[in-house]
């Protein structure tokens, strides 16, 4: 199958008026407090990783649904003849609202247009095909994440293990280890897959989006973010359909208007940054650029080192460290 289908607290800190809940007050103060900088760092290091993971998980689930539907379809004599002649010229009847049982539990409703008789029934994504999948507690395999909502996909090109698609998410909810994220918006994606060590599958993807909203429900609270000007490369390793680790490299603008503060800043990784299967960053460096301040984050050995350059004059005004658990509790 092209692409792949492996067998297959913003927390108590909210007490401080300038530092609370998601990043303070749009960087209008001349001095950024340690708590505010930590909140910036938490969202900058985690939210884009959550969005990338949710996108990959949803496409993995979509591919599993497509493969399952093909395995239960009975080709007509015309289909068999076309396959034997290897001349896919007939226009297929659209697959419309077909119910599918997901391999790991739950269901999905599948609609396919475009393509040919053979390609629609072959269980993989082919150029010219357009998909709409409505997930209902769908898991691509045992141990995989749960997906709900709607994903539309248009296949632009497909060759071997390389795939180019556009996707549109509508209330697409994915249950990640840290909590639930819900996506709305469109992306363009180029993807390739290869075999990794120990029976794993390695997925390399590049995704871009002019604007993508991400609603999160972490740590018993809900927040909503907008990611814009997104250009992120992601490499992820999977075993039996379950994410093992990942890394991302790229830039995006992250903004939010939260009950106790708002922010908008650009985030750039300094080379690749790595994440564990649960979504927490394990190593790497990020630069967060606000109108008046530049914040740096580097992570190693479960500790984040945060630097603050007030005025963006190249002089580090403060440096401090926090455990990774602090970033997890502050994000979202």
Is 4 contained in some domain? no
Is 5 contained in some domain? no
Tokens found for residue 268: 């750039």
pLDDT of residue 8: 38
pLDDT confidence tier of residue 331, bands split at 50, 70 and 90: confident
Is 219 contained in some domain? yes
Smallest CA-to-CA distance from 106 within 152, 61, 164 is with: 61
pLDDT confidence tier of residue 32, bands split at 50, 70 and 90: confident
The mean pLDDT of 263-267, rounded to a whole number, is 94
Q: Per the structure, how many domains does the chain have?
A: 1
Is 7 contained in some domain? no
Pairing mode, strands 261-269 and 281-289: antiparallel
Phi-psi region of 240 (alpha: psi -120 to 50; beta: other; left: phi over 0): left
Is the pLDDT at 249 greater than 50? The verdict is: yes
What is the three-class DSSP state of 83?
helix
Say if CB 187 and CB 166 are below 8 A apart: yes
**The pTM of the whole model exceeds 0.75:** yes
pLDDT confidence tier of residue 257, bands split at 50, 70 and 90: confident
Phi, psi dihedral angles at 33 (to 5 degrees) = -70, 165
Say if CB 128 and CB 113 are below 8 A apart: no
d(CA 165, CA 42): 30
- The angle at the Cα of 138, spanning 137 to 142, to the nearest 5 degrees, equals 115
pLDDT tens digit sequence for 149-160: 999 999 999 988
Pairing mode, strands 281-289 and 273-276: antiparallel
Smallest CA-to-CA distance from 221 within 42, 22, 17 is with: 22
The boundaries of the domain holding residue 47 are 12-330
Is 6 contained in some domain? no
Residue with tokens 């093992």: 244
pLDDT confidence tier of residue 119, bands split at 50, 70 and 90: confident
d(CA 35, CA 13): 7
């Amino acid at each position: 199958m092209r692409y792949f289908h492996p067998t297959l607290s913003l927390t108590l800190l909210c007490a401080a008026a300038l530092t609370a809940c998601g990043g303070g007050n749009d960087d209008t103060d001349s001095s950024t407090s340690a708590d505010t900088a930590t909140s910036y760092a938490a969202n900058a290091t985690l939210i884009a990783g959550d969005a990338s993971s949710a996108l990959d998980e949803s496409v993995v689930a979509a591919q599993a649904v497509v493969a399952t539907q093909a395995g239960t379809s009975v080709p007509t004599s015309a289909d068999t003849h076309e396959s034997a002649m290897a001349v896919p010229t007939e226009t297929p009847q659209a697959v419309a609202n077909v119910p599918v049982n997901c391999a790991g539990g739950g269901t999905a409703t599948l609609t396919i247009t475009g393509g040919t008789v053979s390609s629609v029934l072959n269980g993989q994504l082919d150029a010219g095909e357009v998909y709409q999948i409505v997930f209902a507690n769908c898991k691509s395999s045992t141990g995989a994440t749960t997906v709900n909502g709607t994903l539309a996909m248009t296949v632009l090109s497909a060759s071997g293990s390389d795939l180019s698609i556009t996707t549109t998410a509508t209330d697409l909810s994915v249950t990640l280890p840290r909590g639930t994220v819900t996506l709305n918006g469109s992306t363009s994606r180029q993807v390739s897959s290869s075999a990794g060590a120990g029976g794993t599958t390695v997925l390399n993807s590049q995704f871009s989006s002019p604007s993508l909203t991400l609603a999160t429900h972490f740590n018993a609270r809900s927040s909503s973010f907008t990611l814009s000007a997104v250009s992120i490369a992601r490499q992820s390793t999977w075993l039996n359909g379950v994410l093992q680790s990942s890394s991302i490299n790229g830039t995006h603008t992250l903004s939010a208007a939260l009950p106790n503060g708002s922010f908008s800043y650009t985030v750039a990784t300094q080379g690749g940054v790595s994440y564990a299967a649960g979504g927490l960053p394990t190593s790497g460096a990020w630069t967060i650029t606000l109108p008046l301040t530049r914040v740096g984050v580097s992570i190693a050995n479960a500790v984040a080192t945060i630097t603050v350059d007030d005025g963006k004059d190249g002089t580090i005004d403060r440096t401090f460290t926090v455990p990774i658990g602090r970033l997890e509790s502050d994000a979202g």
